[in-house]
Every structure is written in C-alpha cells, then in structure tokens.
Amino acid sequence: MIDGQSDATIRDVLAGTRRIALVGASDKPWRPSYEVMRFLLDRGYHVTPVNPSLAGQQIHGRPVAADLAAAAPLDMVDVFRASAHVGALIDDAIRLRAQTVWMQLGVIDQAAAERARAAGLTVVMDRCPVIETRRIGPITPRH
C-alpha cells in the first residue's frame, strides 16, 4: 500500500480510535462519505461530520461542524476531500492533536503525510475504513 501501513497498524488505528472528524461529509445518500459515516456510527465511533456548506445541519442525526476546530476533540481526521486540500487539514490535525489522519481512496499527499508523521501522527492514505474492516475482519473499538 502507498502508506506503508501494516494490517496490524490499521487494526490498531481502528480499534484505538473513538472520536472521528469526517471532513467532506455529505448529506447525499449516494455519496461515499455518507455511507462511510453510517458504517462508522454503526460500529460505535463518535463521528462528527465536517462541511462548512452544511454547518448547523445534521447528517445521520449528528450536527455538522464548519471546520476541524469545531469538531474537536478528535482522535482521527477522515478526509473525503481532494488531495489539494490535504495540506491545510494536516496542519489543523497537528494543531488539534489528532492521533491519525486517514485519507480516503484516491486522496494522496506525500508531503503533507510526511509533515503529519514528523509531528507524531499515524497516516493512512488511499484507503477506506469500510474496505479495510471487511478485508482484515471484524474490529472492535477499544473505547
């Protein structure tokens, strides 16, 4: 995989995460972010959707935050944005002391990933937690 993470690391990230900010959340049921958010909520994660265009509304019964700061505290930043937007999100994730940045399928920014790793964050890139959970097997969050 492009991020170099082992299955054990992916399992640890998913098991050790409790609070997720899902950046690029959509209220459209046909969008992948909508489905992934439902999947994560159904597994007991506390997910805050982040989308400035939808701030104040709700997705899956959860209030939408305008930005990462409004979604804090958080453990993981799950990114459903174009790769060009990742750098600023990484900087915010570092500032807000996230533990993990998870970039969804097709979202790749090696320079931002290196900055995150240098700050001590785990970086998962070009992967989907739904696909990884199904591939690795059931993961029970430790929270």
pLDDT of residue 143: 60
- The pLDDT tens digits for 40-67 are 999 999 999 999 999 999 999 999 999 9
Domain boundaries, the chain: 7-136
pLDDT of residue 106: 95
pLDDT of residue 91: 96
- The pLDDT tens digits for 11-38 are 999 999 999 999 999 999 999 999 999 9
Count of Cβ atoms closer than 10 Å to residue 114 Cβ: 12
- The pLDDT tens digits for 87-141 are 999 999 999 999 999 999 999 999 999 999 999 999 999 999 999 999 998 787 7
Residue 142 pLDDT > 90: no
Enter the CATH code of domain 7-136: 3.40.50.720
* CA angle, residues 35, 96, 142, in degrees to nearest 5: 55
